[in-house]
Each structure stands twice: as C-alpha cells, then as structure tokens.
A and B are shown apart, each in its own frame.
Chain A
Amino acid sequence: MSAPNELTTLTAAQMAAAMAAGEISSAELTRAHLDRIAATDDQVHAFLHVAGDAAMAAARAVDERRAAGEPLGPLAGVPLAAKDVFTTVDMPTTCGSKILAGWQPPYDATVIDRLRAAGVVIVGKTNMDEFAMGSSTENSAFGPSRNPWDLGRVPGGSSGGSAAAVAAFQAPLAIGTDTGGSIRQPAAVCGLVGVKPTYGGSSRYGVVAFASSLDTPGPLTRTVLDAALLHEAMSGHDPRDSTSLDAPVPPVVAAARHGDVAGLRVGVVAELSGEGYAPGVLSRFHEAVELLESLGAKVTEVSCPHFGYALPAYYLIAPSECSSNLARFDAMRYGLRAGDDGTASAEDVMSLTRQAGFGAEVKRRIMLGTYALSSGYYDAYYGKAQQVRTLIARDFSAAFDQVDVLVSPTTPTTAFPIGERADNPMAMYLADLCTIPGNLAGNAAISVPCGLAQEDGLPVGLQVMAPVLADDRLYRVAAAVEAALDQRRGHPLLAEANGITADREAGR
C-alpha cells in the first residue's frame, strides 16, 4: 500500500493519547485524513460525501475545548466515517439510492448525536449497498467501493464504504449497520475489526431502516481497542427507540484492554464450516481456534442444528420488513419524483418513481417480502420463518449453556472480484451464511482478523458470538487473538495491504 501519512496509520486510541498529550491537534489530524481521502478516494470510492469544512470546524472546536481545559471524551477529536444510512443534519443521507439522492434530513441519528457530543469528528458519509441490501457495495446506485487489499475486489457490504475507508487509512473509525452481517463481513474481507452489538444495545433512531428487527449499528475499526472505545461512545439506551435496551453498556473497553481467555469456554459451531468454505478461510479459522486453546481457552465443538435454516429464514424476514419499511419512498414528501407530467396520477407517479429510483436488488427484496406477507402465503413463509427464528435462538441458548462464546469463520470466502456475483443473487446471499444466525437471535458478535488466506493472500475473519448483553466477551476473545497474531507477525495485518498504488497517489 502506498505510504499513508504517519498520522493516519495511528490507531484511534493512539491519536486520542497524542491529542491529550498536546502532541497533535484534532485540526492537524483531521486535515491529514481529509488529504488522505483526497489522495485515495478516486481509487477506493469509499465516500459518497466528504464534509471537509464541517469536519475542520468540528476539529477546531474540539481543539478549543481542549485548550480551555474542558473535560473531553476518550475519542474527542478523532475522525470518523459514517455509513450513509445514518441521518445527518449537515450532510445528505442517500442510503446509496437514487431515490434519496440529495436528501438532507432535518435531524441527526441518535448515534450521530452521541458521537458529536463525544467530540468525534465526522469526515463524511460512506458508500453502501442500496438501503443496506447486499454484501459487496455493488448495489450502490453510485458505483461500488473497492477493497484496499485488491482494487479489483469488493470490500464486502453493505457497510463496504465504511470498511474500505478504515482499511485505506482514510479514517481510523467508522460506523456501519449490521442486519445480516453488514458490518462483520466487510470487516472480515478488509482485514478489520467489526462489531454487531447486542440488538437494542445501540440505537436505531435515525438509521434508515432495512429490516427493523435485525438492524444493529456498530463500529468498524483497525483494532479491537478502537472498536471498544467506539462501541462505548455510540451505545446505550435511547428512549426514541422502543427496542433499545434499558441496560448499561457492557464493559467492552475494559475487556478489550485485558484480552485474557484463560479458562474461557469456546464452542466451535459444527454447522458453520466444511463444504462451500474456501480452504484458506478454514485453515486460518482452525489456526485461530488452536491459538485460543494455546492461550488457555477450553474448546469444544457445539451443534446448532437449526443454523442451516437461518439463511432461508433471514431471506423471508428481512425482505418482509423491508417491503414495508421502504414503502415510504413514494415521491410525495421528499426524495426523487419521476413521471409527474401533470396528468399522471399519484398512484402512477409512485410506481414510476420507485421503478426509476430503486435498483434491482431492492426491487427483488421488496417483491419477495410482499410475497411472503401476502394473505395465503403468510403462514407458510413469514410465519414459518419467525418460528425458525425461535428455534435458532433456542440453539444459541442451549449452546451458551455449555460455552461462554461461539466461534466460526465470519464469511465462507475472502473478498470476491467485483462483478463475480452481481447477477447471481443466491451466490451473493451466501456471503452472510455465518453472520445471519446472530442477527436472528439478536446476540452480540464480532469479526476479528485471523490472517490471510494462502490461496489469494486476502484477509480472513474470525467470528466470535456471545449471549445478549455479553458484548464484553467478544472483546476479551478478539483482543487475545489480535495481540497474539500481531506479536507472531511482528506488525498489524493491515500493514500488508497494498492495493492502493503509490504512483496514483503521488500524482495528486
């Protein structure tokens, strides 16, 4: 990878420490990241909107508060990239869709609000699969993002822009949303840490809904500690979200600082490996399990018999909810309006606008969900999927009676080439095979890098799953794996990413 400015290669924790020590200012740090974005985003296309002036103003405001001796949060002054699914009053929110192109929300998402209050500097909005439906960002109406490890490959999705930005050192922190794996899968294929907190642990208010009962905002970072710091800053009870849990945020930062797995019971999910998994993915996964054992964890194999039905259940539940959630995009109150020639009826204008404004995957899922909820089909599809959801949750709770955490590969393969699965929805859906059960049950899960696949040299993620509100266990395990692998390797994994060409950057 072309050499980024040394400031941008620091971890968020290091940046915060340097600012606290007065060694650098947030303005310098933010400027360095904006420069990095300017230098690399024509190759990576991580951003849909860069808010340079607003970011610099926010950075200077933090510097002034610091100079005035005000107490500041642990991430004050650190730059962050936000998935374009969070509403922001000072930036457009498009969800990667033409139907919302240019829409300027009149309110901030709760998560955005909390991050601003914590002094985090938001540098821009990142690319995503349209309305978070996809695993590659190829479903963005504004073109795909590219994987900084190999620009010919996808960065995963749907939070692919956020992952690409962090992996390309355009920002040390990013937030995304995870409905079926949309944080963990891009984190895995970009060599990052990605966390899906417990459902209800982070607020959905101001997160443009894809599937309400599954959507979970969470962090994407380069290190486990950074993820924990961001997790803590963005989470907690929100009275504006009825499904928000009124419980303290689990002690994730402490867990990330003390990655100790001695005596921890780790269950390997029998159903999440084998056929369909890339050899390099399985090798790195098995090594990671051995590593955990060597660090004192007690590893056993655990069976979750209904996990095989998670993918079909998910592709009924998520489309059903999305078919209803996306009905509001109808050209009447905001967003795109097409076909309004003065004679067309409201009904026609709705249909023409939705036809023009939505991409193929969104249309497929809307129709699939409409089908699953139709009278006569509801019981056989949506109703049955909700029962399967119960069975999957029971599998989890039976497993967590025996072990403290469950592990699996995060995704069956490494990053795939752009275009490879674009015309094959079912193949694309398989990218979320391992991550979906956690969404259906609502528990916490993380993806942490566990090396590069031997066949293509691309990152592989280890997924760790924990019970509801035991998010801290994720950080314990992930921190232990990260520390051991970094030590063995002698440097962070991302130092090996070399997709961005130096000459193009030099040519700016």
Chain B
Amino acid sequence: MSITRDEVAHLARLSRLALSDDELDRFAGQLDVIIGAVARVQEVAAAGIPPTTHAAELANVFRPDVVQPCLGADVVLAQAPAAEQGRFRVPRILTED
C-alpha cells in the first residue's frame, strides 16, 4: 500500500489545508509509512464480524420537543472574526451549495 504526493495533495484539498510544497513532500512520506502500518487491519479475518461504532450499546436516546433558552445574537457574534447586520460576515462564496 502506498500513497502518492498527488493523492496527498487531493486529501489536502478535501480537508481544506493549503499545504506548502515542503509539507506535501514530508506528509507524503509520513502518510505512506502510517498507511502501510494501519493497513495491517486488513490481515484480520473479519468476515461476518459486525462493525462496532459505539462502545456503549445504547439506542433511542431522545430529547423531549421542548424549547430551551438560546445564547443571544450578541453573545455568539462576540466571538466572530467579522460580523455585520447581526450576521456572521464571511468572504465571498464561490460554489453554490
């Protein structure tokens, strides 16, 4: 199993990381080693074994449909990098949802 520099560049784009060229080189080498190591899980005979996503075997944990107090616009906007008209100001968005 190995991972190429191009694949790392693709992962960086998917992860929204503007990696430098140096980092791409370094991470490509490191991720190659790490992925080689973690690929050992594929050695395990696991046919028919169900996956575990939760340690705790819980189900149906619900909240009643009751309104609780909110934070308030002033509180949430106080931590915003930029705000305008009671809203979070963000740079122009290129892609439509």
By a beta-carbon cutoff of 8 Å, the part of chain A in contact with chain B is 103-104, 106-107, 199-200, 213-214, 239, 242-243, 245, 306, 309, 312-313, 315-316, 323, 327, 330-337, 340, 344-352, 354-355, 358, 360, 363-364, 366-368, 370-372, 374, 380-381, 383-391, 393, 425-426, 440-443, 468
Contacts and interface: CB of A to CB of B under 8 A. Distances in A.
A492 to B, nearest CB: 33
B23 A363 contact: yes
A313 B46 CA distance: 13
Interface of B: 3, 7-8, 11-20, 23, 27, 30-31, 33-35, 37-44, 46, 49-56, 58, 61, 63, 71, 75-76, 78-82, 88, 90-95
A355 B41 CA distance: 30
B80 A366 contact: no
Contact of A367 (B27, B40, B42): B27
Nearest to A334: B79
A352 B16 CA distance: 8
A103 B3 CA distance: 36
Contact of A425 (B23, B34, B91): B34
Contacts of A330: 16
B16 A350 contact: yes
Contacts, number: 185
B51 A383 contact: yes
A366 B17 contact: yes
A335 B80 CA distance: 7
A243 B38 contact: no
Given A364-B30, A367-B8, A425-B34, A344 B91 contact: yes
**Which among B75, B88, B91, B94 has the highest number of chain A CB atoms within 10 Å?**
B91
A347 B38 contact: no
Given A312-B41, A366-B17, A200 B55 contact: yes
A390 B50 contact: yes
A243 B58 contact: yes
Contacts of A367: 8, 11-12, 15, 17, 27, 31
A348 B13 CA distance: 10
Nearest to A355: B18
A374 to B, nearest CB: 8
A384 B52 contact: no
A419 B11 CA distance: 28
Contacts of B17: 351, 354-355, 358, 363, 366-367
A370 B13 CA distance: 10
Contacts of A345: 91-94
A175 to B, nearest CB: 20
Given A333-B88, A347-B16, 14 more contacts: A104-B79, A106-B78, A213-B54, A243-B54, A315-B34, A332-B81, A334-B79, A345-B91, A348-B18, A368-B34, A368-B35, A385-B41, A387-B49, A391-B46
Contacts of A239: 63
Nearest to A371: B11
A387 B44 contact: yes
B27 A316 contact: no
